[in-house]
Every structure is written in C-alpha cells, then in structure tokens.
Amino acid sequence: MVTIRPVELRDVDVIYRYRLDEEVMFWGSGGYGNAIPAREQLVQEFQSQSSMDTKRIFAIEVEVAGNQEPVVIGTISFREMDRIARRATIGMLIGDRNYWGKGYGTAALNQFVTMLFARYNLNRIDLDTFADNKRAIRCYEKVGFSVEGVRRQAMWTMNGYRDQVLMGLLQEEWLAKKGNRSFYLE
C-alpha cells in the first residue's frame, strides 16, 4: 500500500541518500548538475514548510512485509502554487531503485492529484520532464496527464541538451476519468 504524508525531519537522511544517487537524480531532476543540496539545506527546507506555502514536499511511503514501519521510497511535491489561478507544478522522485517500474509512482501520483484537486481545489496541474524519460511519461499518462508541448533542447543534462515535455491535467478531465464521482464517498 502506498501513502503520502508531509515530509518530517526523520526523513532527511533517507531522502538525502536518494539525492546522492546520480542515476536517481538524473531521472528525477532532468539531469541538472545542481540537484544535490547539502543535508542542512534539506533540514531547513523541511522545518520551514507550512500548509500555506506555494511549495511543499511530501514523502511517498510503502508498507513492506516484515517491517513494522512503512518505508520512504521517494518524494512528491508541488511548487509555484497559484491559489488565484488554482494551478501548481508538480514533481515526483522514486529514490529507491528497488521500487522502479512496479506501479508505486502511479499509485502515489493518483493520490497526490486527488489531494490537489479535492483539498486544494486546483483547476490545473502542470509537470515537465525530459523527452527521454519514457517511464515517467507513461506513468503521468496513466494518471490522465496529456502532453501539451515540447520545448526543443530546453533542458541541460549531464549527457547534453534534451527536449522538455510539458504535460497538464485539468480538474474536469480528472473528474470525467473518475466518472464524476465524489472523491471520498466511493
């Protein structure tokens, strides 16, 4: 079972370890070279989060047989939240490679999108990734995101320039996909 919760200080070490993994960060950050913050920056960022922020990070946890506590496998976040336009840009990182390609990202993204549309009453959710990130694009499309455009050679990676894929999802599209059912009365 996958759950999402706000990050806490107890998550700093595991999330920092994920951010030190170059392959994880290549796929999770578009390959930007400055993707590794100092551990102290993570502590400060986690401590300063507020429910009214325009940027927040959440932990993705899974229950693992034999473990008493759920395991944090990554993060999912929003940034650039505009409460008047009712839109935000999101990002997701599955940091533990053992959980890649097993549907955990799709499950986490479904929960996160539901939270953003239901609790935050967003009208639109944006995201972007580079065109080579086929696994992520498939995940986003499963949840309902559509490719809205491609910016050629817009992202610099450790392997050179890459095209940036822009994707979006509207609340009305999400509701139609769910059959216009209430979010929590199912």
Judge whether 151 and 164 are in contact, CB under 8 Å.
Answer: yes
Q: At residue 52, does pLDDT exceed 60?
A: yes
What's the residue count for the chain?
186
Per-residue CA distances from 101 to 58, 96, 135 (Å): 20, 11, 8
pLDDT for the residue 142: 96
Burial letters 76-102, b for 16+ CB under 10 A, else e: bbbeebeeeebbbbbbbbbbbeebeee
74 SS3 class: strand
Could you tell me the pTM of the whole model? 0.90
In this prediction, residue 186 has a pLDDT band, given cuts at 50, 70 and 90, of very low
Cα angle value 132/133/137 (rounded, 5°):
120
* Residue 63 CB partners (closer than 8 Å, separation 6+): 1, 70, 71
- The token pair that represents 10 in the structure block: 């107890």
157, 96 contact by CB (below 8 A): no
Q: Which of 64-68, 172-176, 178-182 has the highest mean pLDDT?
A: 172-176
Name the band, by pLDDT with cuts 50, 70 and 90, for residue 135: very high
The structure tokens listed for 169 are 């999802």
Residue 12, pLDDT > 70, answer yes
Q: What percent of the chain has pLDDT over 70?
A: 91
Contact criterion met (CB below 8 Å) for 79 and 113: no
